[in-house]
Amino acid sequence: MATRDIKIITTHKGKIPNKVRPELAKFMAYSKLEPGLSPEFFFEWLNKPITKDWNEKYGINVSFAIKENIVVAWGHFSWSKKSEFTPELYVKVHHDEMRKGLGSQLIKELLERIPDYVQELTIPAMKEDFGSKFVQSKLNGKVIEEDRRGLLKVREVNHEDISQEMRKLSESLNKQRIRIQFSSAENLIKDGKLPSLVKLIEQVEKGFSSIKWTKERELEKVLEYKKMLNASKRNETIHEYFLAFEEDSEEIIAYTHTARNFERNKLLAWHEKTIIKPEQKDEIIVSALLHHMLNYLISQTEVTHWINQSMYNDEFLLKVFKKAGFKYFVTNLIHKVTREDWTRYLNY
């Protein structure tokens, strides 16, 4: 049950109470990591007139948690009556109200209003772990029988499928005489791999004008990473690379990067970039790098949140990440965010 000073209001499309709007706008302003729901889009979509055609095709319920006339959490459940898109459930809670079970209250409120003809529900983006068994059971891929008669289904990670896929990729790489090596930023410097990495970035810059990294900037970044590795555990950032080499050469032909950072008692992980030489452009190499990275992150059970910061190839990476069935992290489905959004997320 909600505490006495928190009121939950559940509405339907286009029915946001006027007194809620200003505070909801403020609440949305600091949260721009939602999949396709900026404040402007959110209000524009919800304020569209409800036509007979729309009513026959779609539905949406929205819940707001209000404390002292301020929106402290909101969630929505949307669905298609004609199976045009998969039903979605999304909840966002202000960080000051975390660990109070507020997220699970909103989810229960929304689940109670799911029409009987909706047979499956996916959770594309859970930004926070609300610390309740109710929500954790979803994140762990279990069916929630007590709340919706077993209608709620969540994607599960199948480690065997990932292992089989990695074996196939390894066989393909062996035929091409390419090997993959795991390394930390510190080891890159220690093992003398940095010159090859800088050379690779320079080559990629020639092929892709959108990449603006310079030799000096990359060197500065890696040295900064090394400093971070020696920081206190709560604030440390661990940067790790998966490197692809030609069999008879120490020259790096591709790499992908992931980082882990402690923030507010949770361990965030993010994937910043995947780079491959233009002349070596091969989806098998990229796929192998990503699968090694995914398998590694999944093995790091302390990682509770994950975010994707940039894409090598939107369609290709989307397939790889979805096939891996990522569920332990911030996004269950991939969406891009800018560096500014990432900074805002860490500092809200």
The token pair that represents 120 in the structure block: 């499956």
CA gap 286, 267 in Å, rounded:
25
Residue 17 CB-density burial (10 A; 0-12 exposed, 13-18 middle, 19+ buried) = exposed
Per DSSP, 95 falls in state: G
> Hey, what CATH class is 6-148 in?
alpha beta
Q: Which fold has domain 159-347?
A: Aminopeptidase (3.40.630)
pLDDT in tens, 82-105: 666 656 667 777 766 765 667 767
Provide the total of helices (H) and of strands (E) in the chain, helices listed first: 13, 9
Beta-strand relationship, 237-246 and 303-308: unpaired
**Same CATH topology for 6-148 and 159-347?**
yes
- Listed ranges 129-138, 141-150, 196-205; the one with the highest mean pLDDT: 196-205
| Short-list 310, 305, 296, CA closest to 327 | 305
Domain ranges in the chain are 6-148, 159-347
SS3 category, 191: coil
| Short-list 276, 285, 290, CA closest to 319 | 290
CA gap 256, 193 in Å, rounded:
14
CA gap 108, 104 in Å, rounded:
6
pLDDT in tens, 229-265: 454 444 566 778 888 888 777 788 888 887 776 554 4
- What size, in residues, is the chain? 348
Is the whole model's pTM more than 0.75, yes or no? Answer: no
